[in-house]
Chains A and B, each alone.
Chain A
Amino acid sequence: MEIELTVNGTPTTIEAGKEADLATALRAVGYKGVKCGCDGGVCGASKVIIDGEARMACGMPAREAEGSDVETIENLGTQDDLHPIQQSFVDHFAVQCGFCIPGMIMEAKDLLSETPDPSEREIREAIDDNVCRCTGYQKPVEAIRDAAGRLDGGGVATDGGTATGGGTAAGGDHCD
């Protein structure tokens, strides 16, 4: 079936099977920055922003995206001109294998558009359903905090240095 939607500002028609999920459909038309790391709706690697909200594209049937406005990682910066969130991830060494990163950056973008100055706790909650196996979340959290400053134009840590610890640590639900 044909699905009409807007991807990264461009009206797009996607040809997709009835059962196809949006992640597969987007990948099929070239948005390879949408990653798949689980059997659907859990790992966060396929997050895109749908009508202003970060969601896992694989958890949504492509047909439900009819008429939606979808933004993928491809809509952010280019290699020569990174978006401030992307630049912050690079500067903080927050990227290892990178597989989880597009999804995490889309979630961060969503977070920062609603909460321009998030606490460490708020950042951790926001990316709570973005599985990253490489970083232990430490540097991505620091990168997102710094990105908030960069987007804000104030309080920018330009040295790529470590954001302050903030004192909030484990949530505690790991122990039950």
Chain B
Amino acid sequence: MTDNETRPDGGTASRADADAEVEDIDHSLDVDESANNRLDPEERQSVSRPTEKHDDRKLVTGEAKYTADYEEQFPDLAHARVRRSDVPHGRVADLDTSAAESMDGVLAVLTPWSEDVPDAKYTSAGQSYPEPSPWDMQVLNEKVRYVGDPIAAVAAEDEQTAEAAVGAIEVEYEEHDHVLDAGEAYSEDAPHLFDPEDVENKIVGHDYERNRMASIGGSLGDVEAAYEREDTHVHETEWETIRQSHAQVELHTTLAYTDEDDRHVVITSTQVPNHTRRQLAHLFDIPIRDIRVKKPRVGGGFGGKQAMVVEPIPMALMLATGRPVIYEATREEEFQAMRSRHPMKVRAKSAVTEDGDIEALELYALSNTGAYGSHGMTVAGNVGSKPMPLYSNVENVRFEADVINTNTPQTGAMRGYGAPQGTLALEGHLDEVARDLDLDPIELRQRHYMEEGDVDEIAGMMGGEGAKRVIRSCGLDECVERGMAAIGWDEIEQPDAEHLHRGVGMALSAQGTGVAGDELGGAQVMMNEDGSFHLMVGGVDIGTGADTAFVQIAAEVLGCDERDIVVKSSDTDNTPFDYGAYASSTTYISGRAVKKAAEDAKGKILDWASRMLGEPVEVLDTADGEVYSEATGASVTLEEVGYESVYGDETREHILGQGTHSTDESPPPFAAQFADVTVDSETGEFEVNKLVVAVDCGVAINPGMAEGQIEGANHMSYEMATNEGITFDEEGHAEVADYDDYAFPTAAESPSIESILVETHEPTGPFGAKSVAEVPTNTVPPALSNAIREAVGVRITEMPITAEKIREKLSE
């Protein structure tokens, strides 16, 4: 396999001339929007109504089934555990499994050399094909690169036996020097994690002599010339982010078995069923058609399950034992051996004139991808390509990133996907510039941020589809205005106590909606004779409420009650193809496929109704479970159409609607964040009084669910600002083993969050929708840093923000 090309948005290379000037607009300014896509609020029957989340009744009664709840269907279920490396870097010199093998109840012990263990290289990143992540991993490893790298796997009759057997495996290591810090790893004399021949599908800019798995960049105009100009002030700031854990409450869990038709079934807690099926087929050299990946209810993902993290282990053990096998990770493994957010150092630089014209803007990111490169290049690309286009009016822009392997657990996709790191640097930097030049921080932003109708070239400056992107919806003005009002921007009262200081800070953010030019969703609507429908959709609900949004979209088109739609999703044997739940794509891409499928079915319904009513199709429409004539008022029910179409005397038809959606568009949603903080200038202690975040997500298909997404994302963002994340001792052992070590902000420690939905209409989205769930993840670190700067005059650039750091700065 040859080297992969850069595709910073998370997609696969399609453009070698990344830096070449783009002459043509990739897609036209006009969008062919069907009349039914833009509904006035009072016309909406299902969309933007507070429809009850369709799985909620099962969830609140405890009846919903997650992967581990399938156990009871398999009386002969075996349990898996994994032996992981105790050293940060080395080679397994000897592995003695005899004691483990002879234990009662042990069914199989697999090592890197076992026949049933694939030795193919792969990446765990759940991305399109060929993956824009290097194939640098193996299922079980002779060469180990972090404390926690899997070495051996056991299947046993029960979990305790498996655990004991794993402990009984004796490992001898040949230890190598290790390196934990990205900056150190990037130096000439650091130990090497990889020989170049260890890696297939290498990524652009790789330089394994310096532990660099990728390097990417892009620019517009001439930033250097702007720095040289006499009328500009050049500012440079540097920022640092934490290694954040997804910490989703449901552990990574997979149950694998072979069914009565000899097909391999994998029930798994995943965001990417179709990618996982393809990756398993590659690893085990089994045809794709013989693998079935089935997603039950999922207890949260946040990107941590946009990867095939654990699936190969139970699959290998199932093949070795001939028994169904379940592997449920432990919480310790979650923190130490699953995935996390890439910790980064990001440098921001700008040239700004005295009166606040931003002439140049630049970000440089040094990213620590950990031992393996999954999502390394694409996350780094998003550090620039998501936040920087906010200021699409700036003419000279540059972004570069180096992505470095270290002997720490591998990182991966996480909600925000690089944008949080870039947003901290960009929005913190602009605040500093505004203060230094005595400019209003909001006005400085407003003068440069994008507006509806703008053509943005920044998102595409590193290559990929949509190199010039037309902004078709933008609610930034309203987000700022309503956010300011909600936080009381102009009316902050100082506390009476002299040592207490209150300040508000703000930050803006843009994300994307799906990966431009690299998404696909499919859906099918089948009509039943009673006028109800089955909606088969590949889109993946991981607790977000996507299934509910799909039903609302379909019901709006079909004019039926939402309860008359049975949704079946994410089972690769039964539902159409879908790239999966990532890049904020689900409602926009899969939802648009649902809309097309419903429209296709509706066309057929109207044809039947036209014959039944003896009226032309043009005067017919559906509503309230009926097809009615706008001309005469005559109507037939969907049930009558259903029976007639299936059991009719003359002709018969099963009404099936199909839709598939793919696009070069990736419209940005926007957020304006406000943080209100009180700081004690004696101790540095601070209290966040309130967070306000206003989000333009187009038309919210379900406002209650959208608010929930915003609040959850903002809480995660707050954690990024105030929590240490996963840290390591010098020997590379993670210092976090459970939630209480992780110091996750609990209910009592979390500020109240006010979410504001700002409605715009995105013509390329289903009924005007664009994404919502990622953009509010990006904004609390800069807004809080800016608020503290406002309150007590000190700037914290290195996350997390702590009382100690504030106190230290205050005493300087």
Contacts and interface: CB of A to CB of B under 8 A. Distances in A.
Nearest to A98: B59
Contact of B249 (A45, A105, A127, A165): A45
Interface stretch (B50-58, B178-186, B527-535, B611-619): B50-58
12 contacts: A32-B65, A33-B63, A35-B249, A74-B61, A74-B62, A79-B61, A96-B544, A97-B249, A98-B55, A136-B718, A168-B752, A169-B688
A132 B752 contact: no
Contact of A97 (B297, B332, B748): B297
The 9 closest A-B pairs by CB, nearest first: A33-B62, A97-B543, A136-B715, A98-B59, A99-B299, A93-B704, A73-B62, A136-B711, A86-B60
Contact of B66 (A99, A140, A170, A174): A99
Interface in B663-694: 684-690
Contact of B690 (A78, A121, A169): A169
B126 interface: no
A170 B300 contact: no
B753 A76 contact: no
A133 B247 contact: yes
Given A128-B747, A133-B712, A169-B687, A98 B50 contact: no
Interface string B750-777: 1111110000000000000000000000
B434 interface: no
A175 to B, nearest CB: 5
Nearest to B57: A79
Contacts of A19: 160
A128 B299 contact: no
A42 B712 contact: no
Interface in A13-59: 17, 19, 30-39, 42-43, 45
Which bracket fits the contact residues of A? 35 or more
A131 B744 contact: yes
Interface string B781-802: 0000000000000000000011
Residue among B72, B542, B709, B711 facing the most chain A CB atoms (10 A cut-off): B711
A168 B686 CA distance: 15
A98 B711 contact: no
A70 B64 CA distance: 21
Name A's interface SS: loop
Which bracket fits the contact residues of B? 35 or more
Residue among B64, B689, B690 facing the most chain A CB atoms (10 A cut-off): B64
A100 interface: yes
A171 interface: yes
A99 B248 CA distance: 9
Contacts of A79: 57-58, 61, 63
Contacts of B297: 97-98
Nearest to B740: A42
A62 interface: no
A60 interface: no
B48 interface: no
Interface in B38-96: 50, 52-53, 55-66, 68-69, 72
B685 A172 contact: yes
A138 interface: yes
Contact of B299 (A37, A168, A174): A37
B274 interface: no
Given A39-B330, A98-B543, A130 B59 contact: no
Contact of A37 (B251, B332, B718, B803): B251
A157 interface: no
Contacts of B59: 95, 97-98, 101
Given A42-B740, A98-B59, A137 B544 contact: no
Contacts of B331: 37-39, 42-43
B141 to A, nearest CB: 24
A35 B253 CA distance: 13
Contacts of B713: 136
B714 interface: yes
A157 B542 CA distance: 29
Nearest to B722: A174
Contacts of B801: 175
A16 to B, nearest CB: 12
Residue among B331, B684, B746 facing the most chain A CB atoms (10 A cut-off): B746
Contact of B61 (A73, A170, A173): A73
A96 B708 contact: yes
Contacts of B69: 32
A7 interface: no
B746 A93 contact: no
A176 B709 CA distance: 28
A167 B119 CA distance: 58
A145 interface: no
B747 A99 contact: no
A135 interface: yes
Contact of A38 (B52, B66, B685, B739): B739
Contacts of B748: 121, 124-125, 128, 171
B300 A133 contact: yes
A124 B802 CA distance: 22
A92 B711 CA distance: 13
A111 to B, nearest CB: 12
Contacts of A129: 746
Nearest to A17: B160
Interface in B726-752: 737-740, 744-752
B249 A100 contact: yes
Contact of B750 (A93, A170, A176): A170
B135 interface: no
A17 B251 CA distance: 23
Nearest to B676: A169
B53 A105 contact: no
